[in-house]
Chain A
């Protein structure tokens, strides 16, 4: 238990500090247009990097099952709109594939 408590405390600290420091410090001058353009690109590149390649091995390390889930998510995101359906439908498609013996 002591070991786990230490790990939680250590992880909490090293996760919080990088989130905190930029928010409580100030830049000396307002960012330029180019800097704003770059900062606005960060969420896009972050999602791209978080999706590739991690998503490809997200179900038992298997590309085929992972692609079924991603394809279902893309189709649902384009049509169903409600995000809950995207997540639930994607999990459902993968679970169904597994249940069918893929």
Chain B
């Protein structure tokens, strides 16, 4: 197995994963009675999967614009940590940073930042554009075919997001098996915090950098 993939390979991984998940989002928007333009608008302008699903469920519960926006802010603040982790590693000056910033989703970040070495700005843009294509395309397809899918398939799509994370982390663990420890530790800390009643957005924002710092300072741990 190749230990690294080019930007197209990485982007296609995310494109396929996003496509499935976005179908569920598009079908969900239709089932809620949202217009097609609004459903697609979420994916075109927000481009953040988990918060879009959250917005649908909050809308269904009758939440207002301010409540949905604040909940999204809390959930998506974790991207601050991800952009910060990418900043020193992006090289090149062909793509304006504000354009690159729009596409830094969890999956784009995890897939590109887990590769060894520097990240070319055009490579990152290719990955982001493929991911965006999968997300917006899947949303539109989901809206169009919403209600036509067999119910078992529609329910099963909830796993797609996590299958994609598995597909992203397994090659990393093959290259660097000791990384299993920080990955598991971050998951357990996140689980514990949520168990204590910490909202999921804050829990992610805390557990991701805290465990990275812990292992970064641990003299007994090495990624090799």
Q: Which residues of A contact B (CB under 8 A)?
A: 1, 3-16, 18-24, 27, 30-31, 34-55, 58-60, 65-66, 69-70, 72-74, 76-78, 81, 83-84, 86-92, 94-95, 98-99
Contact = CB atoms under 8 A, between A and B. Distances in A.
Nearest to B191: A53
B159 A15 contact: no
B79 interface: yes
Main secondary structure of the interface of A (DSSP, over half): helix
A30 B87 CA distance: 11
Nearest to B67: A7
B145 to A, nearest CB: 15
Interface size class of B (residues with CB under 8 A): 35 or more
Interface string B78-106: 11111111111110000001101110101
Given A49-B186, A84-B16, 15 more contacts: A4-B59, A11-B52, A11-B55, A11-B69, A18-B80, A20-B97, A39-B88, A41-B215, A48-B183, A49-B189, A52-B191, A87-B164, A91-B157, A91-B163, A95-B155
A90 B20 CA distance: 11
Contacts, number: 300
A51 B169 CA distance: 10
Main secondary structure of the interface of B (DSSP, over half): helix
Q: When A and B form their complex, which 4 residue pairs have the shortest distance between CB atoms, in order from nearest?
A: A52-B187, A10-B69, A48-B183, A38-B216
B27 to A, nearest CB: 14
